[in-house]
Structure 1
Amino acid sequence: MFELSQTFTFDAAHTLKRHVSPEEAAGSRRIHGHTYTAEVAVKGPRLPDTGMVMDLSLLRATLAEVRSQLDHHLLDEVPGLGAPTLENLCVFIFEQVNARIAQVTVSMVCVSRAAGDRCVFRPQA
Structure 2
Amino acid sequence: MDIDGSIKRIIYDGYERLILVEDSNRNEYWLHFLQYEEYLENKEESNILTVGQKVLMRVYLNLVNDFKVYNTHPWPAEGIIQPITQSPHSIVSGIVRDRLDDCTLVCSVGGIGELLVSFESEVSIEVGSRIRVSGELWADIN
TM-score, length of structure 1 as denominator length: 0.33
Q: In proportion to residue count, which structure has more helix?
A: 1
